[in-house]
Amino acid sequence: MDKSLLVTMEYPPQRGGVANYLEKLFSRLPSNKIMVLAPKTEGDKEFDAQATYPIVRTNMLAFYVWPRWLPLYFRVKKMVKQNRIKMLHLSHVLPIGYIAYKLNQEMKLRYVVYCHGLDVLRAQATEKKKKWLIKILNNASGIVANSEYTRSLIRNLGIPDSKILVVYPCPAIRPPEKTVDTYTVTSKYGLANKRVILSVGRLVKRKGVDMVIETIPKLYEQYKDIMYVIVGDGPELNNLGKRVQELGLQNVVRFVGAVNNDELIKLYSIAEIFAMPSRQIGSDVEGFGIVYLEANLFGLPVIGGRSGGVPEAVIDKQTGLLVDPNNTEEIYAALRDMLASPDWAKSLGENGRIRAEKDFQWRKEAEKLRRYLSGGIYE
């Protein structure tokens, strides 16, 4: 494996699926073979000091020149020459792909593109971008997709299937070995003796939190001890809060905001059901859905939308239930059935826990990537 440079728009301590995905993979590659060029962000000095490989921070896109990626191109080119980089790794096909393609033409520098679903769809917003998308992917030495769904999006562009490797995300939050003391969160959020339905994620429309809220009045008529707890923040927070007030659900729905890992573990531990009926809205789609596996690890049955890569994360009627994410009646029925049959629901969660522990380990996925990088794409 020759020396590589990962150029990424997202990297810890930034939060988010792409940042975590890349860090978990690259931290498991040989540390003397990789470098990372990532955005400046709050807390990066403390994070970088713990890393076993060099991380360089910069402002990724400029506001004073066009194209905005041009200063980054010169920065990457300089790093490639100074560090004898043989391979670039791109966190997203655009806009970093423009830089990789240009350096490939100038220096014969090879590159690997990491695709996540949403980025592939957004890059098809205009005919010009779509042409660049296809050109960049065709010219890549390798393509890593986060799911079979994402692989299918790439394949539909005419890219050879043999060129694409699927490397799945794996859960970042896992249950501790010792029993968790949940008193602090039950008292903090008024969850004692409640049957908790939980959602975790950035509050954007595609996550389907709004659709779950619409089911709560009907569920509450039957189950006065339910509580819907929503973890996360985002642009939909105000709209969701207004809808909760309109429905008079202030005492049944809890917005707890973004929480630290310790508190999230406790919330997973006291929840009974995990619900996130994600749907596709335009190009906005769930490329996989690692949060379902995260919830499964805590033994929770999960409800996911039949959309994007979610059916790879949720095995219908085995680890949870898949629903039409645009149909509140289906979402209501799935929640009602789980609440009415807790033993059955627990069996779904247990199946999910076994599958998540067995099939989704960062060590295995990183080894798959290492073999791929050490094999034919460098020859």
Instruction: Kindly provide the residue ranges of all beta strands, DSSP E only, lying in 3-155, ordered along the sequence.
Output: 4-7, 34-39, 55-58, 87-90, 110-115, 142-145
Do 233 and 326 lie in one domain? The reply is: yes
Alpha carbon 123 to its chain centroid, in Å, reads 18
Do 96 and 166 lie in one domain? The reply is: yes
Do 93 and 165 lie in one domain? The reply is: yes
The number of domains in the chain is 2
Do 308 and 353 lie in one domain? The reply is: yes
* DSSP bridge pairs for 59: none
Instruction: Kindly provide the residue ranges of all beta strands, DSSP E only, lying in the chain, ordered along the sequence.
Output: 4-7, 34-39, 55-58, 87-90, 110-115, 142-145, 164-166, 195-200, 226-231, 253-257, 271-276, 302-305, 320-323
Does the pLDDT value for residue 379 go beyond 70?
no
Do 238 and 367 lie in one domain? The reply is: no
Q: Give domain status of residue 214, yes or no.
A: yes
Tens of pLDDT, residues 84-127: 999 999 999 999 999 999 999 999 999 999 999 999 999 998 99
Do 160 and 16 lie in one domain? The reply is: yes
d(CA 149, CA 312): 8
Q: Give domain status of residue 177, yes or no.
A: no
Q: Give domain status of residue 176, yes or no.
A: no
Q: Give domain status of residue 178, yes or no.
A: no
Do 288 and 339 lie in one domain? The reply is: yes
Do 229 and 273 lie in one domain? The reply is: yes
Check residue 243 and give its pLDDT: 98
Please, are residues 148 and 312 in contact by the beta-carbon 8 Å criterion?
A: yes
Q: Give domain status of residue 175, yes or no.
A: no
Do 349 and 371 lie in one domain? The reply is: no
Amino acid at 213: I
Q: Give domain status of residue 322, yes or no.
A: yes
- The token duo for 98 is 């423009």
Q: Give domain status of residue 226, yes or no.
A: yes
* DSSP bridge pairs for 57: 38
Tens of pLDDT, residues 299-355: 999 999 999 999 999 999 999 999 999 999 999 999 999 999 999 999 999 999 999
List the domain range (segments joined by +) for residue 330.
Answer: 183-359
- Count other Cβ atoms within 10 Å, centred on residue 257: 10
d(CA 202, CA 241): 14
Q: Which CATH number fits the domain that encloses residue 52?
A: 3.40.50.2000
